[in-house]
Amino acid sequence: MNVEKTIEFILQSQAKAEERANRAEERANRADKRLDRLERIVTQLAVAGRRFRSDVRLFQSEVREFKTKVEEALSETTDKLNALIEVVDKTTRHNGKERK
Model confidence over 28-70: pLDDT tens digits?
Answer: 999 999 999 999 999 999 999 999 999 999 999 999 999 999 9
Greater pLDDT, 97 or 49 = 49
83 phi-psi bin (left φ>0, alpha ψ -120 to 50, beta other): alpha
pLDDT at 95: 74
**pLDDT at position 26 over 90:** yes
pLDDT at 98: 56
pLDDT at 1: 66
Q: Classify 50 as helix, strand or coil.
A: helix
Residue 46 CA to residue 39 CA, distance in Å, equals 11
